[in-house]
Amino acid sequence: MNTSINPQSLPLRPYRVLDLTRVRAGPTAVRQLADWGADVIKIEEPVDEGNETEMGGVRLGPDYQNLHRNKRSLTLNLKSPEGVRILKELAKDADVVVENYRPDVKKRLGIDYETLNEINPRLVYASISGFGQDGPYARRPGYDQIIQGMTGMMSVTGIPGHGLVRAGIAIADTTAGMYAAMGILMALLDRERSGKGQWIQTSLLESLLAVMDFQCARWLVAGEVPTQAGNDHPTIIPTGNFPTRDGMICICVSGRVMWTRLCKTLNREDWLTDPRFETNKARSANREQLNAELSEIFSGNTTAHWITLLNDAGLACGAVNSIDQAFEDAQVQHLGVRWPVSHPQLGEIGLVGQPYRTSRHVAQLARVAPMPGEHTMEILREAGLTVEQIHELKESHVI
């Protein structure tokens, strides 16, 4: 863990967050707050003793460790009136609640925005769903791959002629989580002025459409329906992956100036007057021929050779890496993207760190992902309950 920074100094340290989320989008949003110092209480169902071993295995897996670090865990049965009462008590002093229940479920439990807002008008309540809090699809379950299909993401991903392909990451979940975190921070800033909390809503559906950005704008502005372009850029040619003697290199040559530099660097100045390649429009129409000629050139030397040569000429390029190679890269190591962690059960591991820092603060790992109910006693004692009361709640399966 990074112990060189005082957790009390992080910018979100004064804020308490109640995390009612599951799966990925919600935990991604909350992780953004936790890594920057927020006191996050992860509220989850009490663990069935028969599933304790299985749950423990899940908790020690890579995904869980990465998503749920810097949180405390409180088990609470929200299907019981006493569990809901305790949650409402915690909400009185909380700054943020984040949830990803279906709209009807949270109302049935009595933990919806309107209810908690009456208890604490300063509360920022964030809801993340598959399709939104209302509308014809509001009660549908939404998962990343389903959303990738519905938004057209798959239609612009993959190699032409080889079928539609999902992105290799949970892009809809991650995007919704990031937009939710942005909305929460905006609401906390607004609360400084207005003194009031508010309801933040986002969904996987609208978040992925938003992050598809220029592809969606091609349709909305120009009436173009984007299609798959494979490793080529839809509009900037040449852009793509090319084999080298020992691997693969990716280049992006944007505009006339960069195209001229590439031709000179590769000793192919004849391309500058070749009608097939003279303009970007011509290169786009003849991209297969151009890519074939570039592949022949790049295969004649190593990836390192080409990266040095092209970078010295001011051209954008990079190796096409596997994940392990990416984390071995000198710049990745310099930026500290890998957070080294000494885990009490897993030993020395790494987690994916925050991708930004400020001139005054650096996010850090203060605690590893919790086991179910690891901090139940601690949190309830902070809330004013006695040890005897907590044992009674345990006996009645409220916690």
Cβ atoms of 387 and 85 within 8 Å: the answer is: no
How far, CA to CA in Å, does 332 sit from each of 91, 109, 170, 355? 40, 45, 22, 11
Please give the positions annotated as active site.
173
Dihedral sign from CA coordinates of 297, 301, 307, 313: negative
Q: Residue 353 and residue 124: Cα distance in Å, rounded?
A: 26
Q: Which amino acid is at 377?
A: M
The 3-state DSSP class for residue 73 equals strand
Dihedral sign from CA coordinates of 233, 235, 239, 242: positive
Q: Residue 328 and residue 334: Cα distance in Å, rounded?
A: 10
Longest C-alpha distance within the chain, in Å? 86
Token readout for 224 is: 């173009």
Q: Phi-psi category of 45—alpha, beta or left, where left has phi over 0 and alpha has psi -120 to 50?
A: beta
How far, CA to CA in Å, does 24 sit from each of 37, 56, 125, 163, 181? 20, 18, 18, 27, 13
